[in-house]
Structure 1
């Protein structure tokens, strides 16, 4: 599809460039997979400097709707993509660290999202989706897995269940919320007095969650998901209350 580009106003130039690109996305003129013209062509057509154009493209890349690759090959240039998970997770993690959201709010958000995810996964998840989740659990149970890798696999397990629920928005929000507390959970895992026992307890609950989803027992899976989240994540809230401030 040929896109007709028009010059933009010069004040707050990069924001106006953003508006121009957004308008074409909203109108359906730009879709995921489409490439933008090279900077040397697009900047004069829009009537802006290449530096202003680059600033706008960096913003779009940060929020996960554009990827830019340098070079002269066929993959070079800026391309419209759909990548909300990483961008939203990064944004939420920064705001959590800045104190924009209370730890208690993050806990409650996780409970609501993951109750929904596990219940829906019990109804909609494919065998392939759940096999991928099980493969993550197998790796989590290996004696050689360290705390950092365990935390990464734990995050991926919860996100995989959300993805298998059939609701992409729930999946994205679950990923973002879980990512926002990843550093905090990692520090808590590292501080566990008996790490092997902590890992074993979490693995038992993960395995039971997966069993319930496979059995189609959505209500039971949702209840256990809430217990699972409040059990460990809830201790972080209690520790914050005792310490008087939230860890970032």
Structure 2
């Protein structure tokens, strides 16, 4: 494990980006900036609350601002030292993808993934309850959805609810998770907070870089 950690430390922001699309200035591909990080970009496939690939997610890759990626690299290094690893579900999100969510939410007949992601919430209430919005911090490039996995097995730590589950059990202050599940959430929150990320109270997986470089800009280049 020590050798792996050493490689990560010297490899942050190394390597070529030639096989990827050209990104806007100050954006990077997370897997290049944070070696060893795992990715499961849900919106690039059907395993998400819409039940289909989301518009503008043309590849299963995570993109962040350089500032957010550098901070995330420090999180990864510390977790690796403890035998854990980060796993990303979503990072930068194009505004057109957010618009796609809005259109999906308006179609109350489309409930193909309801039983998995929002079994206790009427689709018509998703806006009212804040689960869907017309603007997302993800589009500013410094917000990330993620969890922690065992570095040896790749198994996710039990956080008490799945990623993107629309319900009170996903809130940080929920008393529904077990003590172990709450401890796992605290492990993620503490290390993310240590390196400059603030949590979102309604979602245990959602973090935004404090002092993000583009606090008022919502980007719309595709994920590819």
Q: Normalised by the size of structure 2, how large is the TM-score?
A: 0.24
Larger strand percent? 2
The structure, 1 or 2, with the larger RCO (C-alpha pairs under 8 Å, 6+ apart) is 2
Q: Normalised by the size of structure 1, how large is the TM-score?
A: 0.22
Larger helix percent? 1
